[in-house]
Amino acid sequence: MIQFLEKLRSLFRQGISLFYYPYQLIGFTPYLKGITQMPYKSLPLAQEMIDGYVAEFIDANDLRLDDHREFESGNGCTIQRYTFGRASVPSALIDFICNGDGTTTIHYKTGKNHELGLVLAEFVKSKINPNEFESIEMTLQDLRETDVEPLFVALRGDSYPGGEKMFNCCVEQDNATLIQFRISSLRHKDHLVLKFYRTAHKLQIQGKPLFTYKRLSFHLIDILDLWGIEKILNRRDETKQEMVSVPVAEHFLKEHYPHTFQKAPEPIKKLMLSGLCVSLASPKMVDYSMLLYPDLRALEGALHDCLSAFGLYSSNFTDAGDSRLGVMYKRKADETFSLASQHVTIIQSKELVEALEEGYNHYSGKRHPLFHMNEQLIFSYCISDLGTALTLITDTKKCIEKLYQFRPHDSH
């Protein structure tokens, strides 16, 4: 796919009108024949991302968006219609039909340029995580009604920035042993069935991993223990192990660390996402200290980034011109660190200075014992259980979030 798009882009730049006549597609005919056999019906596509995917495709291929409309079909389905092309190329028209069950059907044979529409359809389909094609059937154990009640309250109260409600929450059954909810997305039409067994103390989740599931995952993080979180992000039942769902993990990070994902450079966000996925997909080990590396590295980068926002670079304060955070701080009598007074004067933000000091004290206290071995190896620090590791990882992420809460905003 990538090679095809690169070839396509190259030819466009040469001014060749690829899609005027089918015979001009000689070099790509085998590729097109292959993908025309692939279905584009009832796809588990993140509907809120369609506009971004189309924009990415158009920008990457030097195309032009001629029109974008949203309307309802005769059967009540919302349709996102895009018309696009470029000079001297017939425009393609593609419909993304948002079905009544939250899935999406792509129609690309409605315009003059079916071939170009097909390439966009395949590009958008490639954005779907393969695991998203499977339905969810999982059970979370050892929950009490006091655990799940806040979950239902939160889903009922969910709304978009403009005040529009996200979900319709319907009680389908309620008796001494079972309460059953149907949670339906009002905008995207997907739904989940949640069954809480009062006497068995378990919550059963059934449905598809679409918008409602992503939002449910966000709320479940607040009530579940470590292993419950692992199940949700892995979409794992006791008898079935899946790869970590990266989109859900990313959604979780964005919801819990909004300042970081609004202001931090991409390398820091990628480190945090990779760290979460690796942690929750990790096997049983005798030492989990390696799992802290991505987030501690991200914290180090965040400290450098926040200092650089004020023109403060540690390389300017070392003889060799290398980057070392420690030169920006002073060690106190209690073995903790405070930001050097000349830097405090420049920053002039009590909250950010506090975040810089908390972040560096956390970083310096964990980095050396975790990533250096004592000459008496038996005394070297290790983390023997995943729970402790994830607690330290969460503390590290909180330090990063506090830094970006008070860092002045600029473009990276």
Q: What is the pLDDT along the chain (412 residues), one digit of tens a residue?
A: 444 344 444 433 333 333 332 323 323 333 444 444 457 888 888 888 899 999 999 999 889 999 999 998 888 889 999 999 988 888 999 999 998 888 899 999 888 899 999 999 999 998 887 666 777 788 887 788 888 888 888 899 998 888 899 999 999 999 999 999 999 999 888 889 999 999 988 888 888 888 888 888 777 766 665 445 555 555 554 434 444 556 667 777 887 889 998 999 999 998 898 888 777 666 677 778 888 888 999 999 999 999 999 999 988 887 777 778 989 999 999 889 999 999 999 999 999 999 999 999 999 888 766 765 554 444 456 777 777 888 888 899 999 999 999 999 775 5
How far is 56 from 321, CA to CA, in rounded Å? 39
CATH tag, 2-128: 3.30.310.240
Locate CATH 3.30.310.240 in the chain.
2-128
- The model's pTM: 0.48
Longest dimension (CA), the chain: 79
Locate CATH 3.30.160.690 in the chain.
134-244
Give yes or no for a contact between 255 and 398, defined as CB atoms under 8 angstroms apart.
no
Locate CATH 1.20.120 in the chain.
266-406
- CA 358 to chain centroid, in Å, comes to 26
How far is 97 from 29, CA to CA, in rounded Å? 27
CATH architecture observed for domain 266-406: Up-down Bundle (1.20)
CATH architecture observed for domain 134-244: 2-Layer Sandwich (3.30)
Rg (alpha carbons) of the chain, rounded to whole number = 26
